[in-house]
Amino acid sequence: MRYISTRGQAPVLSFAEAMMTGLARDGGLYVPEAVPTMTETEIAALAGLHYEELAFRVMWPFLGDTFAEDEFRSLLAKAYAPFGHAARAPLVQLGPNHFLMELFHGPTLAFKDFAMQLIGQMMQAVLSKSGERITIVGATSGDTGSAAMEAFRGLSNVDLFILFPHGRVSEVQRRQMTTPSEANVHAIAMSGDFDDCQARVKDMFNDFDFRDGVRLAGVNSINWARVLAQVVYFFHASLALGGPQRKVSFTVPTGNFGDIFAGYIAQKMGLPIEKLVIATNQNDILDRAIKSGAYVTDGVKPSISPSMDIQVSSNFERALFDAYGRDGAAVSALMAELKSGGFHISQGALEMLRSTFASGRCDEAETRDTIRHAFTATGEILCPHSAVGVKVAEEHLGAAPMVTLATAHPAKFPDAVEAAMGTRPALPPRMADLFDREERMTRLPNDLSLLQNFIRERIAN
Ligand SMILES: *Cc1c(COP(=O)(O)O)cnc(C)c1O
């Protein structure tokens, strides 16, 4: 299995190399040269498997010779053991033909645990064979950073530094980043906002002396290994609802297009999916693009579903690559246009995208109404991101069962949930001591060389 860049100018890599590299050298994103497919009979044979065994069968064809079979099974076992639910991604019913897939039973209560827990194990396994050590630096608005701290803490070949905007993440998110006590993970509370944090991480990747000196790697949502881990739960839900004999639809609350792109890969592998619905909050560049064909940036408007507050949607480039017939030069040209504000998707590409994806948006008042209504109608407490999904899903219900992805636990966003429905959601019992654990973080200014010095000093110890 070989991986190619969406811009066509970067070296062709193996799975392990694509995972360690993250972003391609030509600025593009890695995708499989050809997506492996399964027949309906092969998919039907997966029904009833444990989540970890299903993950093994779905992911194995993408991995090449990276791991031995037993080795990969043991990495999956370690990755998902800390989950608080035996089914890993259980379904609950919201209405006659509408289901919620709860992706928030991982150690940091958001769907990012599914990919991050596994990429931590996979990176450690690859590095321990070569004896190498890497430094991972990431910026977060909350969920990615907490998932990464939890996944990488205590791993012997990785140092992890997470930059988060000081005072701008929820208390639960901050505590999840600042309470792990292992010496290889570091939470940095930086002055500025999320964009400043992200800009400093980009600066570090563009500083080649620093990049090579500390052996910098990334685990943000464009990493192919993260997308691949998320493909599994689309199979899991479909098989539970009568797939592959029966088609199932999915609605995915999305920002960077990572999760919904995983659904698209599941469909390309042969999973019968009726509709893939993109659900955005008021930061609706994706909904506007599907409806009008114009992919135009519009500034970020902070919302009560902050993990979807994006200006551009980085993984959308992967969908564009397919929509443009896998023409790397065409994708490069679009991305150059995007720098000056946006581009128009060609008619042929737009038809391909519309035949695969439907879309909808949900504003702030609608998000709060949906949290309230869902609780009254079903007793289910939705986080604001999941509420965006549920509202848009309700506009797309049809004959096929609809599965909406619940991307975070409501207790991760207690203020927004309380404002919507009047009660404050409680943390699951296994996390109830989060507020008693000791915090450890470093306050640093928005200054590249100070940040780089801090990282160099810490990895030397
Ligand atoms: C990251 C995140 C999203 C958006 O996921 P993408 O893969 O970027 O589309 C949605 N909800 C929550 C809770 C998240 O943490």
pLDDT for 123-138, tens place per residue? 999 999 999 999 999 9
* Residue nearest atom 1 in ligand 1 by C-alpha distance: 307
Q: What angle do CA 269, 272, 276 make, to 5 degrees?
A: 90
Output the pTM of the full model.
Answer: 0.96
**Mean pLDDT value across residues 98-106:** 98
Helix boundaries (H) for 131-223: 143-152, 171-178, 194-206, 208-214
Is-cis flag, bond preceding 306, omega within 30? no
Structure tokens at 365: 């008042």
Whether ligand 1 lies within 6 angstroms of the CB of 143 is answered as yes
Find the 253 Cα to ligand 1 centroid distance in Å: 7
Percent of all residues in the chain with a pLDDT value above 70, rounded to a whole number: 100
pLDDT for 375-413, tens place per residue? 999 999 999 999 999 999 999 999 999 999 999 999 999
Whether ligand 1 lies within 6 angstroms of the CB of 412 is answered as no
Question: In ligand 1, which atom is closest to the CA atom of 313?
Answer: 8
Question: In ligand 1, which atom is closest to the CA atom of 254?
Answer: 9
* Closest CA relative to residue 190, chosen from 441, 439, 444, 440: 444
The residue that leads in pLDDT, 22 or 51, is 51
Find the 260 Cα to ligand 1 centroid distance in Å: 10
Which pLDDT value is given to residue 461? 63
Question: In ligand 1, which atom is closest to the CA atom of 104?
Answer: 13
Q: Model confidence at 218, in pLDDT bands (50, 70, 90)?
A: confident
Find the 308 Cα to ligand 1 centroid distance in Å: 6
* Residue nearest atom 8 in ligand 1 by C-alpha distance: 256
pLDDT for 54-71, tens place per residue? 999 999 999 999 999 999
Helix boundaries (H) for 380-447: 384-394, 414-421
Whether ligand 1 lies within 6 angstroms of the CB of 113 is answered as no
* Residue nearest atom 7 in ligand 1 by C-alpha distance: 258
Sheet (strand 91-95) strand order:
91-95, 98-102, 402-406, 248-253, 273-280, 357-361
Say if residues 102 and 85 touch (Cβ distance below 8 Å).
yes
Phi, psi torsion values for 386, nearest 5 degrees: -65, -35
pLDDT for 236-270, tens place per residue? 999 999 999 999 999 999 999 999 999 999 999 99
Domain 83-107+224-421 class? alpha beta
Which pLDDT value is given to residue 311? 84
Which pLDDT value is given to residue 336? 95
Query: Distance (Å, rounded) from C-alpha 98 to C-alpha 93?
Result: 6
Contacts of 449 by beta carbon, 8 Å cutoff, 6+ apart: none
Query: Distance (Å, rounded) from C-alpha 52 to C-alpha 35?
Result: 21
Question: In ligand 1, which atom is closest to the CA atom of 256?
Answer: 8
Query: Distance (Å, rounded) from C-alpha 285 to C-alpha 283?
Result: 6
Which pLDDT value is given to residue 59? 98
Whether ligand 1 lies within 6 angstroms of the CB of 455 is answered as no
Q: Model confidence at 316, in pLDDT bands (50, 70, 90)?
A: very high
Does the active-site annotation cover 268? no
Whether ligand 1 lies within 6 angstroms of the CB of 255 is answered as yes
Site to probe by mutation for ligand 1, drawn from 104, 307, 362 as the one with most ligand atoms within 8 Å of Cβ, is 307
- 141, pLDDT greater than 90: no
Contacts of 301 by beta carbon, 8 Å cutoff, 6+ apart: 282, 283, 309
Domain residue spans of the chain: 83-107+224-421
